């Protein structure tokens, strides 16, 4: 049934928008979603509404919001070069705050035959970035001219994307690792949410930048074999798993070689919890808990 009411306007002018309240015949004030302009059943055409009524479809009075904190996130990505190409690894956890919520998320993706991408940070933002890259790969395929993006070109493109979003004060909350190999040359670069980019022979994001980098700097060599590189990677992953609470013992290993991009099946590293300090972890702790 139609409801008769009169709107409550303030004195800011006939064209000002505002959050409206409505005065029903009974004297009860109802919000706009209950007492809508015209009837309970729908909304009258915009032009029929008086100037002081904020009709459906107009922007809200509140300012546009930005993502201030990431919600579902991934932790470290570790990557380095070796004699045959580039090796990269990350665990499969997407944590909701401190909750180990999603345990089967592959945070390494194939961009094209020469390039792989690993990411830390907000999973939904990384999904959007992968969508951008998929559009580029689709465009290359449709051109059908045999040309594809080099790893360095993918890295440069992502630098522009991240810096553009940062400049709009709406960053994509990720650290990206671009690994590639083409024409016998390896490429490894990183881009963060500010658009800060660099190239290096060994890269770690998240806590791995603090926990794994000392080990990598001490033992990494550009001409190390695949077997030696895999052993070093497993040691670095083990260090991160021991000390990062937002990590799980389930990892994905990827290599980029002259043959292309390979992303392996999930695996676990061998752990040992029989250290003396683990037997009574509260022995030297302060506080009651």
Active-site residues, by number, are 67
Tell me the C-alpha distance between 204 and 212, whole Å. Answer: 7
Structure-token pair, residue 110:
């194939």
Residue 223: both structure tokens together: 């001409």
Asked if residues 25 and 4 have their Cβ atoms less than 8 Å apart, the reply is: yes
Residue 113 in contact with residue 148, Cβ under 8 Å? yes
Q: Is the dihedral of CA 3, 8, 14, 19 positive or negative?
A: negative
The helices-and-strands tally (H runs, E runs) of the chain is 6, 16
Longest dimension (CA), the chain: 83
Per-position DSSP letters for 137-193, written without gaps between them: HHHHHHHTSS----HHHHHHHHHHHHHHHHHTT----EEEEEEEEETTEEEEEEE-T
């Amino acid at each position: 049934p139609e409801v008769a009411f009169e709107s409550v306007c303030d004195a800011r002018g006939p064209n000002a928008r505002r959050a409206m309240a409505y005065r029903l015949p009974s004297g009860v004030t109802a919000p706009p979603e209950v007492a809508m302009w015209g009837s309970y059943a729908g909304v009258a055409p915009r032009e029929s509404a008086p100037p002081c009524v904020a009709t459906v479809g107009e922007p809200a009075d509140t300012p546009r919001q930005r993502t201030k904190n990431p919600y579902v996130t991934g932790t470290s990505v570790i990557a380095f070069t070796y004699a045959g190409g580039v090796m990269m690894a990350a665990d499969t956890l997407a944590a909701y705050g401190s909750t180990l919520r999603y345990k089967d998320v592959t945070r390494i993706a194939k961009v094209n035959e020469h390039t792989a991408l690993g990411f830390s940070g907000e999973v939904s933002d990384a999904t959007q970035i992968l969508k951008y890259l998929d559009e580029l790969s689709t465009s290359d395929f449709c051109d059908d001219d045999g040309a594809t993006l080099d790893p360095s070109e993918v890295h440069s493109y992502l630098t522009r994307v991240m810096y553009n979003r940062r400049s709009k004060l709406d960053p994509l909350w990720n650290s990206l690792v671009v690994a590639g190999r083409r024409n016998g040359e390896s490429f490894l670069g990183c881009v963060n949410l500010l658009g800060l980019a660099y190239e290096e022979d060994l890269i770690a994001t998240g806590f791995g930048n603090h926990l794994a980098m000392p080990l990598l700097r001490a033992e990494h060599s550009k001409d190390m074999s695949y077997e030696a590189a895999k052993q070093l990677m497993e040691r670095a992953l083990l260090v991160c798993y021991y000390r990062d609470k937002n990590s799980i013992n389930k990892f994905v290993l990827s290599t980029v070689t002259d043959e292309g991009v390979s992303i392996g099946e999930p695996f676990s590293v061998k752990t040992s919890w029989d250290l003396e300090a683990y037997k009574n972890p509260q022995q030297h702790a302060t506080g009651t808990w």
